[in-house]
């Protein structure tokens, strides 16, 4: 995990100014954060921050205070009670070291119907092509590291 990836997390939030964020993999926990701040960057209290827990680390009480809600992966994908839940921005960062460099199709299908944007690390052309089936992909570079912004689009027949 590089400092640039940490900066990218806050950059995405700053650029999109979302009211709600879905943090897939609970990036803030991965970096050991105990607040919504990094340097001069802050995720405001008005931003609804929801974490998606992959169950790979201990969930200390501080993280229940840091996140407004915590969902369990992959169980939340089957839970229809939150079918109307919507997130302005989904962040999928820090997952490459877990061999989860690109979200799987099931998660992408879920994100397509419940998020406007997905922000993730750029890993390879195959991942970029896969994400392109779910939305419009734009590459950006921050301090020499590549990231992708995907404007999610409603389901189409070519996504599968």
**Residue 85's domain is classified under what CATH number?**
3.40.50.150
What pLDDT digit, counting tens, does each position of 94-106 carry?
Answer: 776 555 566 788 8
Spatial distance between the Cα atoms of 40 and 27, rounded to a whole number of angstroms? 18
Number of domains in the chain: 1
Q: What is the pLDDT of residue 153?
A: 85
**Residue range of the domain that includes 87:** 3-159
Distances (CA, A) of 55 to 4, 12, 111: 25, 25, 20
More confident residue, 17 or 77: 17
* Contact in structure between 87 and 61 (CB atoms under 8 Å): no
Spatial distance between the Cα atoms of 12 and 140, rounded to a whole number of angstroms? 11
The overall pTM is greater than 0.75: yes
Which among 29, 1, 9 has a CA at the least distance from the CA of 142? 9
Query: Is the pLDDT score of 157 beyond 60?
Result: no
């Amino acid at each position: 995990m590089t400092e640039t990836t940490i900066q990218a997390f806050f950059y995405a939030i700053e650029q999109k100014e979302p009211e709600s964020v879905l943090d897939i993999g609970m990036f803030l926990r991965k970096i050991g954060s105990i607040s919504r701040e990094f340097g001069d960057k802050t995720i405001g209290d008005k931003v609804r921050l929801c974490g998606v827990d992959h169950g790979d680390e201990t969930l200390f009480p501080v993280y229940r205070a840091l996140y407004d809600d915590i969902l369990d992966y992959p169980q939340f994908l089957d839970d229809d009670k939150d079918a109307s839940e919507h997130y302005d921005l989904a962040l999928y960062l820090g997952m490459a070291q877990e061999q989860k460099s690109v979200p799987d199709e099931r998660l992408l299908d879920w994100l397509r119907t419940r998020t406007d944007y997905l922000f993730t690390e750029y890993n390879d052309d195959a991942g970029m092509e896969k994400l392109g089936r779910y939305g419009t992909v734009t590459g950006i570079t921050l301090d020499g590291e590549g990231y992708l912004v995907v404007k999610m689009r409603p389901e189409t027949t070519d996504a599968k």
